Structure 1
Amino acid sequence: MHTLLPFLLAMIAAIVLLNMWANQLKIAYPILLVVAGLLVSFMPGLPRVRINPDLIFFIFLPPLLFEASWTISFKEMKKWWRIIGSFAFLVVFFTALSVAIAANHFIPGFTIALGFLLGGIVSPPDAVSTGAITKFVKIPKSTSAILEGESLLNDASSLIIFRFALVAVGTGQFVWQQAALSFLWMVIGGAGAGLLLAWIFVQGHKRLPLDAQSHIALTLIEPYFMYWVAEEFHCSGVLAIVSGGLFMSGKRLVFLNSASRIQSFSVWESFVFILNGVVFLIIGLELPEIVEGLRAEGIPLRTAIGYGVLVTGVLIAARMISAYAALLATIIFRPSVVPQARSNRRRWLMPMLLGWTGMRGVVSLAAALAIPITLENGTAFPQRNLILVITFVAILLTLLVQGLTLPYLIRRTKLFDGLVEEGAEELVRQQMKQGLKQHVYQFLKVKYENELNGHTGLEKFLKQWEERSKATDDSWMNEKTKVIFVELLETQRQFLTELNKDPTIDEEIIRQQLYQIDLEEERLKII
């Protein structure tokens, strides 16, 4: 323990330093993490960390998926549900099928079941990687929402494929009728379990006398509980987390107070950031043992890397084909919703760019590490080490090749020039603040008309929330005015909640303003 603890602390410090370096270089930090994981495998004397494969999903997936579902805009997901649904389910299945066929044909000893297992592992693009890469370039909100929604749901669909393939490899048979019923139960049962548990958790947060620390502590364990309960009933724990997370995200103003929302944002962001880094470093620590296993099986490392390059090519080609097939299907069957573009060149470049965003990341790595070491009969799991190497190579190549070139392609093609309006977001923000100002003024005039006459404290209210209080002292803020001020903040939240129903307004702008209101309420508490 005394030797392992400094090593774990050093891992976290290394992750922080890599993130700092990535910001300096203006590249996505997952790119440096995957390279660091590779370099760690060459460092002598480091301990080999072994984690029970059965615990990989349980340790890493619940918080990663819960945080992703918490931060995504459900309104944008509903707006673009057709393309998100097609990429999250149809494209994932097509990619897994393509990988299965290619692996069965080109890799000796790979059955179709093993191919689907590998396909389920490497088919989902990574939300963290895509978001970290696209933050350095300006892309339309619609494109960002599609990528975020796809990467959230495709984790669920790909891991369902992974689970069925795992059973097929272990039993040596696959019954389609039984699989179809199991699939329906996994989807319906998983989503239902997540929604039910999320509702129970929301009621608990609302009714129990919890402070900010207690609220945050509960949100840290709730995704684990959702996953565990769903898996106990043999339905999808991943879908339980996604559906439950989306439900709780929409109710955050109901069951969390301002202090909980402010503090939880930082806690969750740091927690997920560390988890992402730890997974990449763990694969680096396991690579020497994986390579030894390959040699024992008579597979040269160069050959395994070649298979990884082949699978990566299949992944990129399958996503490109899917993107163009989606555009053609839209043009033929639903021409009214074809993406707007200033020229045919831009319209046909859009699927290419969308196909180039398929960077793989931590979910694929966690799924590969979750493959059991042995089958139920005690024999070694077939091709486990090879699958791990192929997965790592696919992640490495997609992050390095696609991740490093994507910002350049966006700038070079000028695909989004004119679609990203520089002043549009600021104009919406100004209009929203003006609406808030009028709403607060009308609220005060109607409810506190008598108190407004000659009350300098209430007059300052109108300027306090808009100008961040230019007054040099807060002596005017007595207990009575504090109560009214808190009431004003709450009515602003209600106004923004109603405003968010407007499909033309970006939910991210609403959330930013809600965060400012939370900060204002917390500042009020220390006056």
Structure 2
Amino acid sequence: MEAKFQIFLILLAVLAGTALLARRINVAPAILLMLAGIALAFVPGMPTVELPPELVLLVVLPPLIYSASVAMSWREFKSNLRPIILLALGCVIFTAFAVAAATHYLIGLPWAVGFLLGAIVAPPDVVAPLAIARKLGMPRRILVVLEGEGLANDATALILYRFTAAAITTGLFSLPKATGTFAVIVVCEIVFGVAVGWLSLRARHHARDPQVEITLSLITPYLAFWIPEHFGGSGVIATVACGLYISWNGPLLISSATRLQGIFFWDLIIFLVEGLLFLLTGFQMRLLFEKSKAFPLEDILIATALVAIIVVVARFAWVYPATYLPRLISKRIRERDPAPNWRTVFVISFTGVRGAVSLAAALALPLALPSGEAFPHRDMILFVAFGVIFITLVGMGSGLPLVARWLDITRDGRDEHRAEHEAEIAARREVLAAALQSLDAITDDRRLSDEVVKLLRARHESRTNQLPDSLDPDAYDVSAAGTALTRELIAAERKFIHVLLRDGKITDETRRRIERDLDLEEASLSNREFRKIAL
């Protein structure tokens, strides 16, 4: 136990150091974390750390999916539902078939084994490419489509994976039955996920205690995921439905104290979970290296290169027709949603990075069939899955910024972000104006002293004055200068608080209460700060 805890501490230290390095050299943390995991795996004296598939599929995946679903806008998800479904359902199935056909005809794998391998490597990961896309300032729709695809494609792949694994194990498979079962799973999981979201919000609203509410929020994704998974579903669709329901209905039922504490809690949880997941994925290289000695190296490399090429090409082959054909066929779609430019389609096609879910699915394959025979090509599938993850994550993940600069895709994003920030300024002004109108109405209904009314009015007018009139450079510079001076004043207050504490004029408890107010004020400054947008 002590040795395992020491390894855990080493992993945390490597995670923190790698995250800082990634920020300094402007590289996606997931790429460096996987490379760091591979390097650590071969350090002399480092024990083999095997990634249990149950850890990823049952422990890690639910909070990751839930957190991303809650952060997702239900309105934007619904408005982009067609491209999301085409990618999360259609592209995954198309890729699985393409991998099955290529591996069957080119390297001689049985159809069932090839389709199983295809189901494993078909779903792209969302963490690394989405982090890069956000940092590059890509257009909002690209981010929404990629995030929506990442939320739903694991469900399609895991269901295909289970159907195919069961067919290999039992030797029985019926396409009509599998299709009907798939439809039933989707409908039932959506209903169940919404029910769990409704129950969770009501329980948290009645609790009225931030610690209890955050604890309930941590339980929610596991409740939504584990029960459908236990009855043969994927659990992913239910968790997504639960998160989207809470995202849309939660703001009016979750208290401000819970939101403030919950944001920090979930940000830390996701940071640790994602970081450790990519580190442990890299650690599997040592285990795979030992297993690969039983196969000719040339066969492994050929199979890995073939599958990696197929998953990349299949995504391009699917995305372009799926984007333009519906608009050619349907005038309604063409008028409601004009075709995006080719640069946008190319970027979405290029972001086919595979992640740890593919490796976990490969690791979860049984060692033997019910007859006692070894599961066919298990080690080959495991090695190819890791190779595809490595090639797409390091190769395409590193290449995405270059592609974005080559296509100048961020140009569209800059205009979009400018309009979004201007709309935010206008919305803040309207909200403050509505609050002042409410103050006038409350003043008419209640007997309030002039001092109280003046204090509240001055507070709202001060917040209004802190907003820039526009995003023009001159207006921005004035706003930024005021924000910088306010930060300096807050820093001066912090220093004086410690002088008072040192002199014994206040207690530590008093100091903590004052510092909390200063922390909230500084966080409010960061939230209101409008960064300069290149014109």
TM-score where L is the length of structure 1: 0.83
Are positions 1:354 and 2:348 aligned together?
yes
Alignment of 1:402-413 (within 5 A): 402-413=396-407
Classify 1:139/1:26 alpha carbon distance in 2 versus 1 (closer, same or farther; 3 Å). same
- Paired residue for 2:423? 428
CA contact (8 A) 2:225 2:235 kept: yes
Quote how far apart the aligned CAs of 1:52 are. Answer: 4.5
- Paired residue for 2:239? 241
Are positions 1:125 and 2:121 aligned together?
no
Looking at structure 2, the residues matched to 36 and 428 of structure 1 have their Cα atoms a distance apart, in angstroms, of 42
Quote how far apart the aligned CAs of 1:51 are. Answer: 5.0
Looking at structure 2, the residues matched to 350 and 64 of structure 1 have their Cα atoms a distance apart, in angstroms, of 26
- Paired residue for 1:261? 259
Quote how far apart the aligned CAs of 1:22 are. Answer: 0.8
After superposition, the C-alpha distances for 1:115-151 in whole angstroms (9 at most, x for unaligned) are 2222122111211111111133121111211111111
Looking at structure 2, the residues matched to 118 and 142 of structure 1 have their Cα atoms a distance apart, in angstroms, of 31
Classify 1:382/1:516 alpha carbon distance in 2 versus 1 (closer, same or farther; 3 Å). farther
Count of aligned pairs: 470
Classify 1:300/1:33 alpha carbon distance in 2 versus 1 (closer, same or farther; 3 Å). farther
Classify 1:444/1:277 alpha carbon distance in 2 versus 1 (closer, same or farther; 3 Å). same
The one-letter amino acid of 2:262's match is: S
Are positions 1:368 and 2:386 aligned together?
no
Quote how far apart the aligned CAs of 1:302 are. Answer: 4.1
Are positions 1:397 and 2:396 aligned together?
no
- Paired residue for 2:297? 301
SS of 2:136's partner is coil
CA RMSD of aligned residues (A): 2.7
Are positions 1:12 and 2:20 aligned together?
no
Looking at structure 1, the residues matched to 33 and 320 of structure 2 have their Cα atoms a distance apart, in angstroms, of 31
SS of 1:371's partner is coil
CA contact (8 A) 2:51 2:284 kept: no
SS of 2:2's partner is coil
- Paired residue for 1:158? 157
The one-letter amino acid of 2:167's match is: A
Which of 308, 315, 337 pairs up with 2:311? 315
Judge which range, 281-290 or 22-31, deviates more: 281-290
Quote how far apart the aligned CAs of 1:350 are. Answer: 3.1
Alignment of 1:127-526 (within 5 A): 127-208=126-207, 210-296=208-294, 299-334=295-330, 335-337=334-336, 339=338, 347-418=341-412, 420-421=414-415, 423-449=418-444, 451=448, 453=450, 455=452, 456-463=454-461, 465-466=463-464
After superposition, the C-alpha distances for 1:208-242 in whole angstroms (9 at most, x for unaligned) are 3x421221122112211222211233333111111
CA contact (8 A) 1:54 1:370 kept: yes
Looking at structure 1, the residues matched to 62 and 191 of structure 2 have their Cα atoms a distance apart, in angstroms, of 17
Classify 1:357/1:218 alpha carbon distance in 2 versus 1 (closer, same or farther; 3 Å). same
After superposition, the C-alpha distances for 1:327-378 in whole angstroms (9 at most, x for unaligned) are 330341243256466xxxxx33332222111111232233223223333444
Classify 1:287/1:407 alpha carbon distance in 2 versus 1 (closer, same or farther; 3 Å). closer
Classify 1:379/1:198 alpha carbon distance in 2 versus 1 (closer, same or farther; 3 Å). farther
CA contact (8 A) 1:57 1:370 kept: no
Looking at structure 2, the residues matched to 118 and 178 of structure 1 have their Cα atoms a distance apart, in angstroms, of 21
Looking at structure 1, the residues matched to 342 and 463 of structure 2 have their Cα atoms a distance apart, in angstroms, of 47
CA contact (8 A) 1:18 1:29 kept: yes
What are the ranges of 5 or more consecutive residues in structure 2 without an aligned counterpart? Answer: 467-482, 494-522, 529-535
Quote how far apart the aligned CAs of 1:43 are. Answer: 2.0
Classify 1:78/1:205 alpha carbon distance in 2 versus 1 (closer, same or farther; 3 Å). same
Quote how far apart the aligned CAs of 1:9 are. Answer: 0.9
Looking at structure 2, the residues matched to 295 and 284 of structure 1 have their Cα atoms a distance apart, in angstroms, of 18
CA contact (8 A) 1:92 1:123 kept: yes
Looking at structure 2, the residues matched to 127 and 516 of structure 1 have their Cα atoms a distance apart, in angstroms, of 30
Judge which range, 438-447 or 285-294, deviates more: 285-294
CA contact (8 A) 1:189 1:235 kept: no
After superposition, the C-alpha distances for 1:392-441 in whole angstroms (9 at most, x for unaligned) are 11111112221112112221222452463153122111111111121111
Quote how far apart the aligned CAs of 1:66 are. Answer: 0.9
- Paired residue for 1:507? none
Quote how far apart the aligned CAs of 1:160 are. Answer: 1.4
Quote how far apart the aligned CAs of 1:245 are. Answer: 1.4
CA contact (8 A) 1:452 1:458 kept: no
After superposition, the C-alpha distances for 1:189-214 in whole angstroms (9 at most, x for unaligned) are 22222222222222211223x42122
Quote how far apart the aligned CAs of 1:21 are. Answer: 0.8
- Paired residue for 1:82? 82
Identity percentage over the alignment?
Answer: 31
- Paired residue for 2:35? 35
Classify 1:262/1:288 alpha carbon distance in 2 versus 1 (closer, same or farther; 3 Å). same
The one-letter amino acid of 2:406's match is: R
The one-letter amino acid of 1:133's match is: I
The one-letter amino acid of 1:273's match is: F
